[in-house]
Amino acid sequence: MRPSHSRRAQTALSHMAEVDPAVAALALWCAHRDHDDPTCTQGDTILYGPEFEALSVPEQIGLAAHHVLHVALRHSARQTEMASRLGRKFKPLLYNLASDAIVNEALLNGNHALPRPAVRAKELIELLPGLDTVAPDILGDWDTDRLYHALARPRDGDPSETNPAIEDYLLKRRFAPDLTAEGTYESQSDVWSSRVDQALDMGRSGGIGIGVSLARFADLPQSRTPWELRLRRLLLKAASDVPRVSHRRPSSRWIASDAQARQSGTRTPAFEPGMTRDIRRPRLAIALDTSSSVTDRQLDLFASEAVGIQRRTTAELHLLAFDTEVHTHQRFDHADDLTRIDMRRGGGTSFDPVIAKAGQLDPSLLIVLTDLEAPLGPQPGFPVIWAVPSAVTRAPSFGTVLSMQH
C-alpha cells in the first residue's frame, strides 16, 4: 500500500507557489509524508512530525522549503558519499550542521521565515579562525562540503576534538540533526542540477523567493568525480601490464617480410623485434610531504587510497615520507604496515631528495602528496602525480595535478 501524502504539509505546500515559485517547483519532485518523530529529510522523502503543525504558516512554509532544498541539493546522497570516502573520520553531526547552515542562508536571503533559532553559514564562518569573514557572496563561494571540511578541521592536530566555538554554537542554537542517510534518493546529480536550474529561472521570472536572491549558488548539485577515483584510475593505468619490446621474438611484420623474401629469393630483411607482455611487477612510489602545511587527515586519506590500489593491482608499493629530506622509506607488503609507521611532522619542503630517491626505485609512477609550496627541479624519467590539498594557482612544470579539495 502506497503511503499517503502528508496532511500536515498541505497548507504550507499550497501557499508555496505564492511565496517562492522556485521551491514550489522543486517540492513537486519530493515525497511528503507524515510520521510521529521530528520533521526530517530521508533521501527524497520529507517526513513531517507533530511539532510542524504548531508552527505559524510562514514558519511552516520556511521549514518545508528547508527540507525541499535538502532533497534538491542531494544532501542525503552527498552525506553518504562523503561518509564512504572518509570512513570513521566522518562526522555526520557537522555535515548536518553545514548543510542546514547553507540551506538556511539561502532561504533567509529569499525572505523566508524559519523557526528560531536557525543556524547560518555566515555565523559559522565568522567562528572559524584564519578565514575571510568579509566574504561578499557566501552562497556563491561556499558549499556544504567546503563548509563541512572547515568545521571538521582537526584542532591542534587532534581530529577527535572539535573547535569549542562550534560546540558552543551548537548548544546555543539547540541544534538537532534533521538529515539522515536512510531512505531512497536519486544518485544522478545532473538530474537534480537541471531541476534546480529550471526552478531558479522560474523564481527569477516570478520576481520572488530564492530565485531572485541567488545570483550564484555554489551548493548546486554537480557531476564531480572524487579525487580518489581519479587517482585510482591513474594508478591502475600506470600499474597495468603494458607491452614491451622483446628481441626474443620477431614482429609480425618481420615474419611476413622474411617469408616473402624466402619465397622470392631476395635478401632477408633486417630483424625487427616484436612486442611481449611485461610480466615484471609494477612498482609504485608514494611520497608524503610531512611538513606542517599538510594535515593528518589528508595524509590518512591519501595513504588509505594508495594501499587500496596496491591491493587491487598487486603492485609493489613504496612509501617515501619527506620534508627537506627523505626520513622514512618502507616497502608495503600488507595494508596493516601503514599503521605501524611513525612519521615525523613539521619542517620545510624540498622535492629534489625525494625525486632522486624515487628514481633509485625505477618506479612505474610517483605520487606526491604535497601543497607544492617549494621549487621543482628537473623533470624525472617517470610519470609524477601531484596530489594537493586544494587547487593550485600555478601549474607545476611537469606531472599531473589532482586536487583533493571536496
pLDDT per residue rounded down to tens, the chain (406 residues): 456 799 999 999 999 999 999 999 999 999 999 999 999 999 899 999 999 999 999 999 999 999 999 999 999 988 988 888 788 888 999 999 999 999 999 999 999 999 988 999 999 998 887 665 555 578 888 889 889 988 988 766 555 667 889 999 999 999 999 988 776 766 555 678 778 888 888 888 888 999 887 767 878 776 555 556 666 666 666 655 555 566 677 877 878 888 888 888 888 888 887 766 555 567 888 888 887 666 666 666 666 666 666 666 667 788 888 888 898 888 876 655 555 566 677 777 889 999 999 999 988 889 888 888 888 888 999 888 888 877 666 778 888 887 776 5
The residues pairing with 322 across neighbouring beta strands, listed in sequence order, are: 289, 326
389 by DSSP, 3-state: which? Answer: coil
The second-level CATH assignment, the architecture, of 283-403 is 3-Layer(aba) Sandwich (3.40)
Helix axes 75-86, 144-151, angle to 10 degrees: 40
How far is C-alpha 337 from the geometric centre of its chain's CA atoms?
26
pLDDT, residue 347, reads 74
Whole-number CA gyration radius for the chain: 28
Lookup: cell for 89? 573520520
Residue ranges of domains in the chain = 10-223, 283-403
Contacts of 68 (CB under 8 A, 6+ apart): 23, 26, 27, 30, 46
Do residues 321 and 290 touch, judged by C-beta distance below 8 A?
Answer: yes
Distance CA 286, CA 300 (A): 13
Do residues 309 and 232 touch, judged by C-beta distance below 8 A?
Answer: yes
372: left (phi over 0), alpha (psi -120 to 50) or beta: left
pLDDT, residue 84, reads 80
User: Among residues 237, 360, 344, which one has the least CA distance to residue 294?
Assistant: 344
Whether this prediction's pTM lies above 0.75 is answered by: no
Do residues 225 and 247 touch, judged by C-beta distance below 8 A?
Answer: no
pLDDT, residue 334, reads 62
CA angle centred on 290, ends 286 and 291, rounded to 5°: 140
Q: Which helix (H) or strand (E) holds 143?
A: none
Distance CA 253, CA 244 (A): 16
User: What is the per-residue DSSP string for 192-245?
Assistant: HHHHHHHHHHHHHHHT-SHHHH-S--TTS------HHHHHHHHHHHHHS--EEE
User: Among residues 45, 169, 43, 168, which one has the least CA distance to residue 118?
Assistant: 169
Phi, psi of 326 (to 5 degrees): -85, 110
Lookup: cell for 100? 542546514
Residue indicated by cell numbers 515559485: 21
